[in-house]
Every structure is written in C-alpha cells, then in structure tokens.
Chain A
Amino acid sequence: MSAHNRGTELDLSWISKIQVNHPAVLRRAEQIQARRTVKKEWQAAWLLKAVTFIDLTTLSGDDTSSNIQRLCYKAKYPIREDLLKALNMHDKGITTAAVCVYPARVCDAVKALKAAGCNIPVASVAAGFPAGQTHLKTRLEEIRLAVEDGATEIDVVINRSLVLTGQWEGSDFIKTSTGKETVNATFPVAIVMLRAIRDFFWKTGNKIGFKPAGGIRSAKDSLAWLSLVKEELGDEWLKPELFRIGASTLLSDIERQIYHHVTGRYAAYHDLPMS
C-alpha cells in the first residue's frame, strides 16, 4: 500500500452529525444491483479486473503448508493461461492482489510465493482474529511476529468494545467484516462505509481503502461490488491499493465465467485447476 492514512485530529462531531436512514439505504442497495450490469467483453474485462482485487484467502483451522502452497500458486496463475490468451490478456500479469492467511502460515506463504517467483504481498489476519478480544500486548506482539515472518499487510480486527464506547482507531483500509460472522459483507452496510470514506476524503484529502469480505462467492456478486465502488466513490478507488475483495471460492467462479465467455460452453468441474 503506497500512501498511508496520515491521520487527523479526532473530531467526534463528524460522527455524531452523520445521519443514516436505514430503509433508504436498503432501497439504494437494491437499486444499485439492478441498475448496473455489464455483459460480453465488458463482463470478461471486469471479471479479470475483479481478480486483481482479490485477497485470496484461506482461514481454516486445518491449513497446512501444502494447501497454502496451492493457494499461492493459484494467486500467481488465477486464470488458465489459454483463456487469458484468447482474451489477449496473457501479458497483463494478472494475479490476485494478495494472499491472506493466519499468522502461523505467513512463513509458508512467503516461501511458496518466493518459489513461484512473484512478489504478491502476503496479508495476515492478526491481533486476535476474528474477535479482537485479546490483550493489547499480545495483539501487538502477534502483528510484530507476522511482519517479521514477511507479511506486508495486516488485517487487524479492532477491539469493537472500544468503538461501541466511542474510542475510535484509525486505519488505511476498512473492512465490512471478518468473514467469520453469520452476516458478512452486505450492500447496505457497504454503502454507509463507502459514503464515510468519501466524506473523510472530502474533509481531509486522505483516501481510505475498502475491503468487503465474507460471502462473496459468485462472479456476479463481484461485478456488483465493483460497480458499487465505481458508483459511490468513482474509478479512482478501483485499484488494489484502495479496493480488495476478501474471498476464497470467488476466484473459481470467475474462472468458470471467463471459460464460458471464451468458449461459449459451461465448464465441467475438472476443466479448471483447483486452488
């Protein structure tokens, strides 16, 4: 991530002045999905773009170096080479934006990516993921260790008890959710967050990134998220420095759609490599 949030004096009046009308935001969320669709080449190009926003994620208790290795390889080669060639996109260096793993797997990921010869950043969830309810000291130590192991991006879960009591923290990116909750990334919540990002930019000139995570599984969903960001924030936010999609299964659906776009056929399960 290039520019960091330089921060600003905490002015709680900004927050207290914010008005959010829930039913109106729900209506907007419904509309935005219906009003913008892309088809044909546009769809293919948008889907490839979506690939470059993915934080390809595995956050399972049974992660081992072998599936991390497979994940990293998929991050480097997210779409089958012949499909990219057919689209004349093979020389664009399309990879996912990052791989995202637990702190203990950062080492494996860094090693695997090095072996694959690429510089995709490794993101690590840290600081008591997914609840954030551990001591500050251990949380900071966790971050330090992950960085030592080679993680360049940290997905911090803030201690939400602090937010609920009005003690805010700053960041470069904001996420909708950990992906480990029953309700994860939803459009209405995203709309509110994106509007807050825009207002913060208008007030301070700082661009904060946005990462929806959890529940984004279909190619169609990813297109809707792209157009949501395009509509609410504009094209300048549509780059990996400011927009990520946290997902694990999304990539394979995108690849299926690209396959269909290129060949005109629906892919069998074994036609595409697993991640």
Chain B
Amino acid sequence: MAATRAGPRAREIFTSLEYGPVPESHACALAWLDTQDRCLGHYVNGKWLKPEHRNSVPCQDPITGENLASCLQAQAEDVAAAVEAARMAFKGWSAHPGVVRAQHLTRLAEVIQKHQRLLWTLESLVTGRAVREVRDGDVQLAQQLLHYHAIQASTQEEALAGWEPMGVIGLILPPTFSFLEMMWRICPALAVGCTVVALVPPASPAPLLLAQLAGELGPFPGILNVLSGPASLVPILASQPGIRKVAFCGAPEEGRALRRSLAGECAELGLALGTESLLLLTDTADVDSAVEGVVDAAWSDRGPGGLRLLIQESVWDEAMRRLQERMGRLRSGRGLDGAVDMGARGAAACDLVQRFVREAQSQGAQAGDVPSERPFYPPTLVSNLPPASPCAQVEVPWPVVVASPFRTAKEALLVANGTPRGGSASVWSERLGQALELGYGLQVGTVWINAHGLRDPSVPTGGCKESGCSWHGGPDGLYEYLRPSGTPARLSCLSKNLNYDTFGLAVPSTLPAGPEIGPSPAPPYGLFVGGRFQAPGARSSRPIRDSSGNLHGYVAEGGAKDIRGAVEAAHQAFPGWAGQSPGARAALLWALAAALERRKSTLASRLERQGAELKAAEAEVELSARRLRAWGARVQAQGHTLQVAGLRGPVLRLREPLGVLAVVCPDEWPLLAFVSLLAPALAYGNTVVMVPSAACPLLALEVCQDMATVFPAGLANVVTGDRDHLTRCLALHQDVQAMWYFGSAQGSQFVEWASAGNLKPVWASRGCPRAWDQEAEGAGPELGLRVARTKALWLPMGD
C-alpha cells in the first residue's frame, strides 16, 4: 500500500542531520509578471504607463541571474506626467475629510492582506532577501502602518488642527531597499492628505505592485504614482514645480548633493541617509542575547546596513567567542528558501563589502578571508581596526560588523558619538541606571535597550547629524508632510547667479558717522559672547541709524573669528544647560522676562526711535516678556510615552535639544522677533548664537545686559555686524547643529546650500515676512517642532 514518495536521501540526512531547502514557490510572482507581458512600466494615475522609445533594464533574479522582466526607464516627460497626475489628485484627496482617507487606507491594508503571498514572493524573488523576513516582518508591518495611519487620518481634524497637507510629495528610494521603506513614507503622507510620486530604482517591481493594488481600489487613482528610473532623474523630479517636498532616502553623499542642488528651489527636502547602526555591549549585559542583537542588526535580512559594535573590554573575549560561534551557524542562501538567515543582495552590495573588508585588512584589521564566490556574502566580523584608520570613519556596509573595545561607559559614549552618523543604536546592560545613562547620552534617533531593530508604526524613526533629520512613523512622521495652515505657499527663491563662493565673503568697510546723539542713555557696546560684552576682532564698528536717519548708535563689527568664539562659548555652556531640568530652565526665562519688564521704558524709547508708536512699543516689550514665560511653561509638558503593540514596556518619545543653534533674526520687530526666537531655543535646552536685526540690533543688545546678569555665561551669544558675512560664517560652521535664517531670498538660498556641509537642519524664511506679533507665527507649534529633535527610547521590560 505504501507507495513510495521518499527519495534515497533520508538515510544520509538521518546521520548528518543537515538542513534542507525549504523552497517557497514563486509561481504567483511570475504569473503576475506575465500579466504585464514581462515588461514593467510605471504606474501613474491608476493606470500602467508604458511609453514607447524608452530604455529598459532587465529585472533579474539576483541568485540565478535569470531574466524575470524588463523594466522601462522613465524620462523627464514621464516624471512631469506623474507629478501632474499627483497634483490633480491632490485637490480631491486633500479636500476629503480624514475619515474618507482613513477608509481608503484601511481598504488598501485589506487588499495587501488578501494578496500578501504575491507581495512577499515577488519582493523576495527580486531583492534576494530572506522570504521569512519579508513574509513575517515587512508584509505584516506594512498592514500595521496602514491601519495606524488610517487612525491618524480619521482624527486629523481635531488632533492636527492648524496644519494642512503640503501637497505633492516626491519620494526617492535607494537602490537596495525594502518596499517597506516606501510604506513608511507614503502612509503618513497619504494619511494627512498629500499625494505621492515615488521614484524607485530600476527593476523594483514590488512598489509597482503596491501602486497597482492601491490604484485598482478605485476613487483616488492618482494619489500614489510609482516611476522606475535611474538616479539621474532625481534632480528632475526634485525640481518639478508641482513638488512641495522631496523625501530622499539614500547614501549621505547623494543627500548632500541633493541638498545643494535644491537650495532656493520650491520643494522642501527631508533626508534619511545611511544605514549603519550601533550596538553597545557592556559588561553587565546578557551577552548571548546581545549576540542575537548583532544578528538582528547585521546578519539577518532585517537590518539594511552594517553594524559598529562596541564591547566593554572586560567581556571582549567572551563576546568574541560567542559571536564566532553564532556566525558559524548562520545560513546564507536563496531568499525564497524559508530556512535561511541571509539572502543575496546583488553584485553591487557584494562589491561594496568586499572593497570595505579588503581596505580594512590593509589598514591592519582582522577579518578572516575575503570570499570571492558570488552571489552570497557571508557574515563578516572585523576587529582590531585602528580607530584612526580611514575605514573606521566610513559607513560599515552590510553584512559587516566592526567590533572595537571600550573601557568605561563614559568612553563608550565618546566613541559612539564620535561619528557624523546618528541613526540608531542599542544598549545592552542589565543595570537600569547605566542603560538609561547611555540611552540618553547617545546622539542618535532611536535607542533600544536590550533589543535591536524593533519597529512600530506609532514610534517615530529618524536620525540626527548626518543621518538626516527626517522622520517616519508616529506623530513626527505626520508633521513631515504638514505645514501650518494659512501660511503663504513656499515659492522658489532660486537666484541662478548667486555666487556661493563670494556670498557674504567680504565685509564692506564702515566709517565713523559722527557722534551718538539723543535722549536715551548710550547703548551697550560690544559683542555679547560668553556672558560679557567683548570688543570685536576687527576692532571696527558700524553705525545704526534711527527712523529719521540720525545716528542711533554704534555696534561692533563682528567677523569670522567672533563667530568662532561665540560658537565655542555656546558649546561650553551646552552640556550644563541641556542637563538642567525644564523647570530650572523655565525659572531663568521667567527671570529674564521680569528683567525686560523692569527695562521697559528704555526698550520702548529705543523702539520709538526706530519709528514705533509709544503704545505699540510698550506692547511689543510686554508681548516679548509674555513669550519668555509662555515657552518656559510649555517646555515642561514636552515628550511623552508611547505604547506599542506586542511590546511589554514603554517607548519614550524624548524631545532633546539640537545643540548649538544659530539664529539670524529678521530686520523687522527688532525686539519681539529676537525674543520669540530666543525663548523656545533656550527653553528646550539649546544654546544659541544670534545675529540680531540688522536695522536695529540695539534692542537685542539691551536684552544682553539682562542676560549677562540672569543667565550662565555662553547660553545666548549675540554677534552684530554685516548680516551676509555672519550668515556665511554660521552656515558654513560644521559644529553648529541647526540654523534658522529670517532674511533675504538670496541669504536663504545660501544657507540652504551651505547646510549641506554637516547637513544641519535649516529653517529659512526666503524673504517672506512673518507676523511675529501673531500667536500662530510668532509662537506657534511650528517653532516647538523645529527647536528640538525627537529620540525614541525603547524600554522592553521583563523579569
């Protein structure tokens, strides 16, 4: 009766107990490709777009090299068509109430659920990633993302009152990515009412499939458009006039180039750069679990990049032994095999890692043999890489782990923060105090305590420093695609003939303009740096005239060296100030408010000389004092705890100070604008270098007299002088963490261009005046959003 189906191999397997292949059929993926006649175009406005006379790129199985389909490459006119479709769709989509968008997103989640096998086999087949990660991780998370954002959309009118959708979003994705990266960004964008044009690299069918599934849902065909095309299309998409924001994910250097090329353009730019992660293993850690953390971070198909691993010296040997042991048991293989840990990621990824490992070895590191077999690259552990070698500075590629030792927790923080990258990190320690100390001290966007790589739709994910400061997930992800209601549309301020090399380079010389006259006391003189008035390095001064053209006073002519000194002073003051409790910071702001009120008559008379009515001048002083108090109160209610499905324990959403913030104040409202910008910056723990109103810096200097007595030295530094020159010095400064510029269009363009140096977040007014006396513009939530950065701190619990 027993008709034999078994092969002859059972005997051998019984002895060897080896693993066998667990192939996942990809027949449905091929069948779907067949519906497109194995030729994929673009999905625009609810229809497949397959224009003629386009280059095509083969979509290959990265393991067998088999040609699966050919993919048409978009050209500029296809980009324009897609942006136009998204622009038309935006009108309807954004006008609908949130609940309608919520329903649509929920329906998309249901469609994904119904066709998930197609999605995961197609994704795994084409990208080579382990199907288990795609099936159990990405596809499930994609549905959760849609559900979470549907809820956000349905409560948008109340929860996000005062904000409106930006418009059409241009989304640019890197060559090796999961379709999930697209989902993280389109979900919040669509939820708040934006529409999307996604530019995906050649031969990425999964995003096209998603667009088709969304498009076939019906009433809103143009909300998600997917184009596939080469990197050369990025600037073309970014500079389309209909695009309001460009969300870019990719390599840091590409992000930097895009930042420069988009300076002054209409679209805003959000950057999410790099893939490296960090793991801190202390001597109180559960080392075996930390080793699993390493596997999650770099040696599975979960994480996108490599890992920098810092191990406390006292557990170095133990940790390395366990890592080696664990590495030996990892399995590489075809992504569609259900029992492999790591698939293949194509030739480019292999070349990159091979180059990195060879270079690291030539610089003295140990890394074992460099394999030459393709297409799989084995998990690789690099140690003994000298800290000063070039390889120690660059990003670690997948699937490499670079291990280095540290002695104390303090040193670990120094080493960990000593890179320009600020993506994600995990801390492994069973000592609560130490874990929190490290978690708070790391300059990154996400910290997991005793875990690595957890993600959830309700938790914001992003970075700082050169990892770019755009966010996805949670409330922060929504604000990426929102702008304050009623503010004028952001227009291009591009001036083609702005010379970046010479803008603000030279300071026009200033000559004596006669003695100061007038009823008010002589204005304070000098640059307010490090808590006292100092003579400028240039030892010269510039005259300030009042509204009737008479000389009001002289202010010091600050220059590059004064900016350097001011930034240094701000940095020195930063750790102490950021370490203060919000309550303590509020108390000092309140003290400054009281001091301003005492100085009211002097301030009002100076404002009068600048042409204000006495009543209005007094109101400005009073409003300034109120702003200080309001921000002092507001900061005490910052941050909150998130609860994540499937995780026992909280996730803290921290709002941390940016660091040293440079602020170039507008000409108008010389007192109110200065204080309105100073107050939130200080309240959130930043220290500042400010360039006051060029027309009348004397008001700011009056405030400095009070700051000298109320504040610790270096908290707020005020440098007067030529606005363009000071702007240049600040914008090009690599150790200024963020910059706000309220001034000319040209200056804004320069600041945006120059920020590419350290990718500091910038906020430039582009020549648009702001109603500083209005609550929304002078003290609205936009300031609160821009003045601090988010960090998500995951705290899983268990005994």
Instruction: Say yes or no: is B61 at the interface (Cβ < 8 Å to chain A).
Output: no
Interface residues of B in 19-36 (CB under 8 A from A): 19-22
**Per-residue 0/1 for B2-19: is the Cβ within 8 Å of any A Cβ (1 yes, 0 no)?**
111111111111100111
Is A189 close to B, CB under 8 A? Answer: no
Please report the C-alpha to C-alpha distance between residue A42 and residue B10 in the assembled complex, in whole angstroms.
Answer: 7
B648 contacts A by Cβ under 8 Å: yes
A20-B6 in contact (CB<8A): no
Closest to B23 in A: A39
The reply to whether the CB of A216 lies closer than 8 angstroms to some CB of chain B is no
Q: How far is the CB of A48 from chain B (nearest CB, A)?
A: 6
Stretch of A26-34, A148-156, A159-167, A175-183 on the interface side = A26-34
Q: Is the CB of B3 within 8 A of A45?
A: no
The reply to whether B9 and A41 form a contact with Cβ atoms under 8 Å apart is yes
* A38-B22, A86-B2, A262-B2 known; A226+B287 contact, CB < 8 A: no
A263-B5 contact given A20-B286, A37-B22, A37-B338, CB 8 Å threshold? yes
When distances are taken between beta carbons in the complex, the residues of chain A under 8 Å from B450 are 21, 23-24
* Partner of A86 from B4, B19, B648 at Cβ < 8 Å: B4
Residue B285 at the chain A interface, CB threshold 8 Å: yes
Residue A137 interfacial (CB < 8 Å) = no
By the criterion CB–CB under 8 Å, are A23 and B132 in contact?
Answer: no
B2→A39 contact, CB < 8 A: no
Docked complex Cα distance between A182 and B696 (Å): 79
- The stretch that binds A, out of B148-156, B270-278, B791-799, is B791-799
B477 CB to closest chain A CB (Å) equals 25
Quick check: is B535 within 8 A (CB to CB) of the other chain? no
| Contact (Cβ within 8 A) B20 A39 | yes
* B681 close to chain A: CB less than 8 A: no
The answer to whether B430 has its CB under 8 Å from any CB of chain A is: yes
B6 x A87 contact (CB < 8 A): yes
Chain B interface, number of residues (Cβ within 8 angstroms): 46
A263 & B2 in contact (Cβ 8 Å cutoff): yes
From B6, B12, B284, B287, A261 is in contact (CB under 8 Å) with: B6
Does A70 belong to the interface (CB within 8 Å)? no
Q: Decide yes or no whether A141 CB sits under 8 A from chain B.
A: no
Are A22 and B798 in touch, CB under 8 angstroms? yes
Q: Would you call B8 and A36 a contact (CB within 8 A)?
A: no
A77 within 8 A of B: no
The answer to whether the Cβ of A63 comes within 8 Å of any Cβ in the partner chain is no
Which stretch, A115-123, A204-212, A230-238, touches the partner chain B? A230-238
Given contacts A37-B22, A41-B13, is CB(A231)–CB(B5) below 8 Å?
Answer: no
Residues 40-94 of A contacting B (Cβ, < 8 Å): 40-42, 44-46, 48-49, 82-83, 85-89, 92
What CA separation (Å) do A89 and B8 show in the bound complex? 10
* CB-based contact A41/B286 at 8 Å: no
**Chain A residue at minimum C-beta to C-beta distance from B136:** A34
In the assembled complex, the Cα of A49 lies from the Cα of B16 at a distance in Å of 10
Taking a contact as CB atoms under 8 Å apart, the answer to whether B10 and A44 are in contact is: yes
Task: Say yes or no for A6: interface residue by CB 8 A criterion.
Answer: no
By a CB distance below 8 angstroms, the chain B residues around A195 are 288
State how many angstroms separate the Cβ of A235 from the closest Cβ of chain B: 6
Beta-carbon contact of A83 and B451 below 8 Å: no
Contact for A26 among B3, B5, B798, CB less than 8 A = B798
Tell yes or no: A19 within 8 A of B by CB.
Answer: yes
- A88, B11: Cα distance in complex, Å: 7
Report which of B19, B288, B341 forms a contact with A38, defined as CB distance below 8 A. B19
Contact (A24, B451) CB under 8 Å given A38-B22, A42-B20: yes
CB nearest neighbor in A for B13: A45
Q: Contacts of A39 on B, CB cut-off 8 Å?
A: 20-22
Instruction: Give the chain A neighbours of B338 by CB distance below 8 A.
Output: 37
A201 to B14, CA, bound (A): 26
The answer to whether A35 touches B339, judged by C-beta atoms less than 8 angstroms apart, is yes
Q: Report B76 CB to chain A, min CB distance, Å.
A: 45
Verify B2–A83 contact, CB threshold 8 A: yes
Q: Mark A184-202, 1 if CB is under 8 A from B, else 0.
A: 0000000000010000001
**A145 in contact (CB, < 8 A):** no
What's the nearest-Cβ distance from chain B to residue A31, in Å? 8
Answer yes or no: B293 CB below 8 A from chain A CBs.
yes
A46 to B13, Cβ gap below 8 A?
Answer: yes
Check: B496 CB closer than 8 A to any chain A CB. Answer: no
Contact call B132/A86, Cβ cutoff below 8 A: no
Give Cα A234 to B8, complex, Å.
Answer: 25
Question: A147 in the interface, Cβ–Cβ < 8 Å?
Answer: no
Residues of chain A within 8 A (CB-CB) of B1 are: 82, 263
Q: Write the chain B residue with the least CB distance to A92.
A: B14
CB pair A49–B132 under 8 Å, yes or no, is no
CB-based contact A264/B5 at 8 Å? yes
Query: How distant is B323 from chain A, measured CB to nearest CB, in Å?
Result: 14
For residue A46, which residues in chain B have a CB less than 8 angstroms away from its CB? 13, 17
For residue A25, CB closer than 8 A to chain B, the reply is yes
Nearest CB of B to A52, in Å: 9
Min C-beta distance of A184 to chain B, whole Å: 20
The answer, yes or no, to whether B289 is at the interface (CB within 8 Å) is: yes
Question: Which residues of B lie under 8 Å from residue A264 when comparing CB positions?
Answer: 3, 5
Q: A35-B132, A82-B2 are in contact. Are A22 and B7 (CB under 8 A)?
A: no
Residues on the A chain within 8 Å of B13, using CB: 41-42, 45-46
Q: Which residues of B contact A24 (CB under 8 A)?
A: 286, 289-290, 292-293, 450-451, 796
CA separation between A45 and B18, bound complex, in Å? 10
Whether B649 is near chain A, meaning CB under 8 Å from some CB there, is yes
> Are B14 and A262 interface neighbours, CB within 8 A?
no
Say yes or no: is B114 at the interface (Cβ < 8 Å to chain A). Answer: no
- Given the known interface contacts A34-B136, A230-B17, A231-B329, the answer about A21 and B6 at a Cβ–Cβ threshold of 8 Å is no
Q: Beyond A86-B6, A264-B5, list 8 extra A-B contacts (CB 8 Å).
A: A26-B798, A34-B136, A38-B22, A86-B4, A89-B10, A226-B17, A238-B17, A264-B3
Q: 9 A-B residue contacts at CB 8 Å?
A: A19-B285, A19-B286, A19-B430, A24-B451, A25-B289, A83-B2, A87-B10, A262-B6, A263-B5
